[in-house]
Amino acid sequence: MLRSTLKKLLSPKPSVPVRPTPARVLRMEVLEDRSVPATFTVGTNGLTTIQAALNAAAARTGFDTVVVPTGTYTESVVINDTFGVTLRASGNAIIKAPATVAAPSDLAALGGAVIDVYSKNVTITGLTVNAAGSNANAGIRVIKGGDATIRNNTVTGVNAPADPAFGVGIQVGSRRVGIVAGAGNAVLEKNKITDYFAAGVLVDGGAASATVTENTIIGRRGLNGGVTQYGVQMSYGASGSIEYNRISGNDTGNLGQFDVSAGVFLYQVGAKDVLVDANRVFGNEDGILVQSSAGGPGSIVISNNQVYSNTGFAGIDVIDSSDVSITGNEVYSNDTLNGIALGDSSQITVDENNVFDNVLADGIYVYGGGGNTISSNVSRNNGYNGIFLEDSSSNTVASNTTRANDQNGVKVLRGSNNTLSFGTSNANGFDGILLEDTANNSVTNYTLRNNGGYGLHLVSAIGTTKSNNTFSGNDLGDTN
């Protein structure tokens, strides 16, 4: 045992291969091309114009700021910076358009703008843009795929455009020049826009979108020579939201249903979402006008607005449209023909609105079309009828309150197959409900009290279904 152990200890050990030490390699990572943001101030370092300062910023790599000190600068500018830029005023900085504002060479159809934005990641803030005395088609315009935040500016005087179809305070996108050149996106916030010819804000074309919020937008009233104008227009497939704005003064004396100015105008929208919410819309012809639009792919929602003191066809007017939601609005004290009007439209929902004190007006007026839902509204103290359906069929009128209207609470003239249910119609000047020259309607679960005529008045109303209605105190009786 001892001999064996000694033998193991004295025996030479097998050699162990030594692993070579790898040569050290110095690895150098390529850093990003990082540039410290720079500020370029107009009037310093040879930058005598705003455009010169913008060009200097665009020549650098990275996001920069151009500061415009107090003063008046007569020029038009283009923002075309690969990395984005902030253009901001320091003090009372005014960009005054020259008499002739040239159109971009590749976008002649659009005419000229005082500020054109072609870049992404652009902010414009604190400036006054004055186009008075020039032929500018727009004050600020975002096109060619530009993306901008435009905040706390004043835009005024775009009232003599080279093309009378324009005259726009702030424009986002355009349907005139194709999807690529006509693309634009913007946030428009807390701007004051006045004295424009066609529109305070225009968002135009299927490649255009904007958030329009907390702006004050004032039209020209009688100074526009009878030419229609709009506070905010979204059109031809544009999308976005219009919220918390004050919009007034778009009133050119046209009192008909068509060719009327409006505070908000939606035309041929609905492929993408459009929201009009919580605005104060007053002193226009139509307050909010929706025309030739169809929701479905996208939603069209008119909600929680205060619409008052307008003078055109309606406070809220929907023409030749479908799948629009009108909900939670207050429509009052309008000197229009109607509080809310639906013309030749279908699948419109009018829900939980408060419509009152509209002089010489129906509260809610539906003419032509059909398949609409009028529900849970209060329509009171209007000059004509609380709710009036004319030549319209297959509408649902449910859970509404019509009270103290000068004529009828609810009137149905011609049309057929309308359903009236679960409402109250009290203290109206004429009848609680009047059905005239109409067929196959139903009136169920209604409360009809203290009306100046009948509770339910049927005049050549064949095939009327009546059940579970409550009557009291109607001057001419419960029903004829």
**Number of folded domains that form the chain:** 1
In sequence order, the 6+-apart residues with CB closer than 8 A to the CB of 365 are 314, 337, 338, 339, 340, 341, 342, 385, 387, 388, 390
pLDDT digits (tens, 9 = 90+) for 219-241: 999 888 889 999 999 999 999 99
CA 110 – CA 133 distance, rounded (Å): 19
Structure tokens at 181: 């050149």
CA distances in angstroms from 91 to 94, 123, 127, 387, listed in the order given: 9, 17, 9, 53
Query: What is the pLDDT averaged over residues 60-81?
Result: 97
Q: What SS3 state is found at 30?
A: coil
* Cβ atoms of residues 399 and 375 within 8 Å: yes
Q: How many CA atoms lie within 13 A of 361 on its CB side?
A: 32
Structure confidence at residue 220 (pLDDT): 95
Structure confidence at residue 5 (pLDDT): 42
Query: Of 398, 340, 391, nearest to 370 (Cα)?
Result: 391
Looking at per-residue pLDDT, the higher value among 471 and 28 belongs to 471
Strand partners, 233: 202, 265
Q: What SS3 state is found at 8?
A: helix
Cα dihedral 158, 161, 167, 172 sign: negative
Q: What SS3 state is found at 108?
A: helix
Determine what percent of the chain is predicted with pLDDT higher than 90: 86
pLDDT digits (tens, 9 = 90+) for 316-375: 999 999 999 999 999 999 998 999 999 999 999 999 999 999 999 999 999 999 999 999
Asked whether residue 192 is domain-assigned, the answer is no
Asked whether residue 477 is domain-assigned, the answer is yes
Structure confidence at residue 296 (pLDDT): 87
Asked whether residue 111 is domain-assigned, the answer is no
* Cβ atoms of residues 321 and 290 within 8 Å: yes
Q: Containing domain of residue 422, as a range?
A: 337-480
Strand partners, 91: none
CA 90 – CA 110 distance, rounded (Å): 31
Task: Please determine, for residue 66, whether its predicted confidence score (pLDDT) is greater than 80.
Answer: yes
Structure tokens at 358: 């509209």
Structure tokens at 77: 């500018």
pLDDT digits (tens, 9 = 90+) for 38-64: 999 999 999 999 999 999 999 999 999
Structure confidence at residue 179 (pLDDT): 87
pLDDT digits (tens, 9 = 90+) for 371-430: 999 999 999 999 999 999 999 999 999 999 999 999 999 999 999 999 999 999 999 999
Query: Of 334, 360, 362, nearest to 350 (Cα)?
Result: 362
In sequence order, the 6+-apart residues with CB closer than 8 A to the CB of 22 are none
Asked whether residue 443 is domain-assigned, the answer is yes
Task: Please determine, for residue 7, whether its predicted confidence score (pLDDT) is greater than 50.
Answer: no
Structure tokens at 95: 């960009």
Asked whether residue 391 is domain-assigned, the answer is yes
Structure tokens at 1: 């045992």
Q: How many Å from the N-terminal Cα to the C-terminal Cα in the chain?
A: 131
* Cβ atoms of residues 182 and 214 within 8 Å: no
Query: What is the pLDDT averaged over residues 96-117?
Result: 95
Asked whether residue 225 is domain-assigned, the answer is no
Structure tokens at 228: 């229609």
Asked whether residue 411 is domain-assigned, the answer is yes
Task: Please determine, for residue 132, whether its predicted confidence score (pLDDT) is greater than 80.
Answer: yes
Task: Please determine, for residue 23, whether its predicted confidence score (pLDDT) is greater than 80.
Answer: no
Angle at 451 between CA 404 and CA 395, to 5 degrees: 75
CA 456 – CA 446 distance, rounded (Å): 10
Query: What is the pLDDT averaged over residues 91-103?
Result: 97
CA 165 – CA 142 distance, rounded (Å): 18
Structure confidence at residue 9 (pLDDT): 38
How many C-beta neighbours within 10 Å does residue 216 have? Answer: 17
**pLDDT grade for 258, boundaries at 50, 70 and 90:** low
Structure confidence at residue 295 (pLDDT): 94
Structure confidence at residue 3 (pLDDT): 41
Asked whether residue 348 is domain-assigned, the answer is yes
In sequence order, the 6+-apart residues with CB closer than 8 A to the CB of 328 are 303, 304, 351, 352, 353
Structure confidence at residue 30 (pLDDT): 46
How many C-beta neighbours within 10 Å does residue 465 have? Answer: 11
Structure confidence at residue 24 (pLDDT): 56
DSSP string, 309-370: S--SSEEEEEES-BSEEEES-EEES--SSEEEEEES-BS-EEES-EEE--TTSEEEEEES-B
CA 468 – CA 471 distance, rounded (Å): 10
